[in-house]
């Protein structure tokens, strides 16, 4: 792995990767724009002025609803249960793979301006500024992502370069890749030890950069009904929420999300056994650490996803990052279950629960020091280490009110029994009410009001308050 890292840092490999991306953009002309509804039409030309005009025209058509509609994108398997937008996903999603059997149906302003959205390799992203008003004055922790109170900030400026494998066809092996450039205050919720982590662990900088996702996908069409193998750094796969802002119902995150694993580096296989069953198995170097750090150790992840024939229910169970569980930077042993249920055309709920622990965590009252960037456990007096468990549950109730709007209410409970995740041995809960509004398919506004409460200790405003009230909103602008 060290050899690979050194090679990537060398100019020859960087130049080679850059050339491959450019060649893909120029010559990989299988057009998905022609398959997708609401794809603004544009004919690529060469000058900067014409590029700018095509970009402006994309947004004009998108915001006014005048984009030309095309046929539905091809897919196989069950139909999508939701509309996206306004919801972040059309399908009951699973981590670690694009949805097998679903075409890459996304069309983006930047790619339309570059080449008329004709290439399978795509460059796109978003900018997400936000503000919040809070009763806390130091930090809003353990709330995320608006951790800096009473401020305006840039949460995420993200650029993706990706090519998704074609998993609709069953004839030939296909491939894809993904690279991410991630800048903003939210880097603290993605940083792995060993990936530019000193900016957070040593300096606690408000703004930082993180290459969150770097992986290769290989799709094997003849294994069951399709298998995708992902190798590299990817989002830790269980759960409703994710680090990348457009993938979430709300701007802020649940307490459950704020203290669980963020990203893993390893190899993961996702197998579509049938239209209803998906199995996953993989090996990583444990959670939130680079493979070249001393904290990395082999860990197994296994998941199963089941969707009913009606597509009204989905169950997703995961054992995530399982090994000996001995204390390391973030060597969490996580058992997670997610349930989605659709009540009708416009109502659905999303519920997640987990249990996590680490063994031999240094005691808050002992002589052993925890690793920088982690918390000690509130063990009983007289011991140097102890088991540090926690459990949590979150529920979203979501109602679509128009093609561009939905409202969501989130209720959330976390029992941090030894304080190893938040720094406080207490039970916490929160309730959040949010409205999401889209302008076209490229701008999303998510105002929310949230109340947090700590039951057993003062856990807010750096241990000075039991309660916290915040009003916040972000603005996500896609390009």
Give the per-residue pLDDT at 21.
45
Phi, psi of 128 (to 5 degrees): -130, 90
- Cis peptide before 100, with omega less than 30 degrees from 0? no
Residues 288 and 321 sit within 8 Å (Cβ to Cβ): no
pLDDT band for 134, please (50, 70, 90 cuts): very high
**Phi/psi of residue 248, nearest 5 degrees:** -115, 150
22 falls in which pLDDT band (50, 70, 90)? very low
Question: Residue 9 burial by CB count (10 A; 0-12/13-18/19+): exposed, middle or buried?
Answer: exposed
What pLDDT does residue 68 have? 80
Rounded Cα–Cα distance for residues 72 and 227 (Å): 24
User: What pLDDT is recorded for position 242?
Assistant: 92
What's the full length of the chain, in residues? 479
Q: Measure the CA–CA gap between 468 and 448, rounded to whole angstroms.
A: 14
Which is higher by pLDDT, 116 or 130? 130
Residue pair 215/231 in contact (Cβ under 8 Å)? The answer is yes
Burial class (CB in 10 A: 0-12, 13-18, 19+), 436: buried
**Predicted confidence (pLDDT) per residue in 434-464, tens digit:** 999 999 999 999 999 999 999 999 999 999 9
CATH fold of the domain at 119-478: Porin (2.40.160)
Share of the chain above pLDDT 90, in %: 86
How far apart, in whole angstroms, are the C-alpha atoms of residue 354 and residue 336?
4
CA pair distance 81, 235, nearest whole angstrom? 23
Whole-angstrom distance, CA of residue 446 vs CA of residue 252: 9
Angle at 334 between CA 210 and CA 353, to 5 degrees: 100
What angle, 0 to 180 degrees and rounded to 10, lies between the N-to-C axes of helices 2-9 and 11-27?
70
- The mean pLDDT value for 334-356 works out to 97
Higher pLDDT, 69 or 226: 226
Strands 214-220, 208-210: parallel, antiparallel or unpaired by DSSP? unpaired
Helical (H) or strand (E) element with 17: helix 11-27
Between CA 425 and CA 454 the distance in angstroms is 10
pLDDT at 46 over 80: no
* Ordered DSSP codes for 131-165: EEEES-SS--TTSBS--SSSEEEEEEEEEEEEE--
- CA neighbor of 328 nearest in space, from 367, 365, 285: 285
- CB contact set of 467 (below 8 Å; sequence gap of 6+): 135, 451, 452, 453, 454, 460
pLDDT digits 0-9 by tens, 212-243: 999 999 999 999 999 999 999 999 999 999 99
d(CA 361, CA 378): 9
348 pairs with which residues across the strands?
342, 398
User: Does residue 23 surpass a pLDDT of 70?
Assistant: no
């Amino acid at each position: 792995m060290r050899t690979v890292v050194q090679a990537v840092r060398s100019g020859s490999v960087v130049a080679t990767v850059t050339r491959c991306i450019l060649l893909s953009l120029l010559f990989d002309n299988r057009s998905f724009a022609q398959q997708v509804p609401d794809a603004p039409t544009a004919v690529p030309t060469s000058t900067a002025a014409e590029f700018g005009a095509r970009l402006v025209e994309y947004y004009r058509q998108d915001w006014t609803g005048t984009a030309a509609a095309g046929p539905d994108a091809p897919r196989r398997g069950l139909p999508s249960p939701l509309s996206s937008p306004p919801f972040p996903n059309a399908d009951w999603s699973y981590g670690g793979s694009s949805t097998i059997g679903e075409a890459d149906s996304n069309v983006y302003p930047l790619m339309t301006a570059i080449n008329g959205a004709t290439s399978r390799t795509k460059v796109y992203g978003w900018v997400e500024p936000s503000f919040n008003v809070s009763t806390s004055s130091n930090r809003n922790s353990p709330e995320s992502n608006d951790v800096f109170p009473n401020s305006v900030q840039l949460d995420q400026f993200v650029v993706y370069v990706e090519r998704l494998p074609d998993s609709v066809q069953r004839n030939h092996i296909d491939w894809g890749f993904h690279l991410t450039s991630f800048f903003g205050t939210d880097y603290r919720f993605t940083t792995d030890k060993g990936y530019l982590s000193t900016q957070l662990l040593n300096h606690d900088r408000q703004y930082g950069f993180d290459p969150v996702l770097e992986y290769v996908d290989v799709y094997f069409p003849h294994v069951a009904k399709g298998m995708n193998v992902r190798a590299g750094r990817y989002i830790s796969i269980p759960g409703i929420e994710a680090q990348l802002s457009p993938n979430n119902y709300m701007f802020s995150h649940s307490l459950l999300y704020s203290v669980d694993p963020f990203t893993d580096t390893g190899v993961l296989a996702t197998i579509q056994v049938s239209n209803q069953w998906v199995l996953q198995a993989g090996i990583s170097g444990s959670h939130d650490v680079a493979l070249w750090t001393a904290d990395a150790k082999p860990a197994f992840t296994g998941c199963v996803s089941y969707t009913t024939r009606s597509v009204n229910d989905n169950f997703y169970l995961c054992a995530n990052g399982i090994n000996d569980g001995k204390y390391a930077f973030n060597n969490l042993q996580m058992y997670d279950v997610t349930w989605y249920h659709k009540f009708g055309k416009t109502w659905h709920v999303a519920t997640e629960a987990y249990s996590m622990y680490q063994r031999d965590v240094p005691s808050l009252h002992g002589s052993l020091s925890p690793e920088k960037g982690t918390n000690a456990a509130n063990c009983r007096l007289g011991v140097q280490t102890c088991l540090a468990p926690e459990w949590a549950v979150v529920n979203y109730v979501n109602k679509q009110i128009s093609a561009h709007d939905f409202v969501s209410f989130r209720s959330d409970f976390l029992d941090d029994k030894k304080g190893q995740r938040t720094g406080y041995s207490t039970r916490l809960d929160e309730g959040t009410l949010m409205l999401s509004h889209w302008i076209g398919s490229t701008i999303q506004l998510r105002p929310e009001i949230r109340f947090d409460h700590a039951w057993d200790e003062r856990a807010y405003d750096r241990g000075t308050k039991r309660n916290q009230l915040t009003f916040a909103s972000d603005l996500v602008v896609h390009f």
